């Protein structure tokens, strides 16, 4: 499973980045049909703080199942499941 940088657009309701609406991979926009799961991964940083990184598993309108994860630098990565 490989990961590559992507652009993610979110619906923002009561809180920022509430759920992903679309994903642009290699210049192609994929609309998200359904959110399958979401989680927050917690880890310690080198300066002793806790870092929370969101992760989503989604299905696109074309039927692709994607896993979206934010990396340490704040960019989004996609894995094709």
Overall domain count for the chain: 1
pLDDT 10s digits, 61-81:
999 999 999 887 888 989 888
Q: What is the mean pLDDT of the chain?
A: 84
Residue 70 to residue 81: CA distance in whole angstroms: 16
Domain that holds residue 62: 3-80
**pTM (two decimals):** 0.79
For residue 54, CA distances in Å to 28, 38, 78 come to 23, 7, 12
Residue 36 to residue 56: CA distance in whole angstroms: 8
């Amino acid at each position: 499973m490989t990961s590559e940088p992507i652009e993610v657009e979110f619906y923002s309701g009561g809180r920022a980045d509430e759920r992903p609406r679309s994903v642009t991979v290699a210049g192609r926009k994929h609309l998200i049909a359904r959110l399958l799961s979401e989680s927050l991964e917690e880890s310690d940083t080198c300066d002793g703080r806790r870092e929370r990184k969101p992760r989503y598993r989604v299905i696109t309108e074309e039927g692709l199942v994607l896993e979206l994860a934010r990396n340490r630098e704040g960019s989004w990565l996609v894995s094709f499941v």
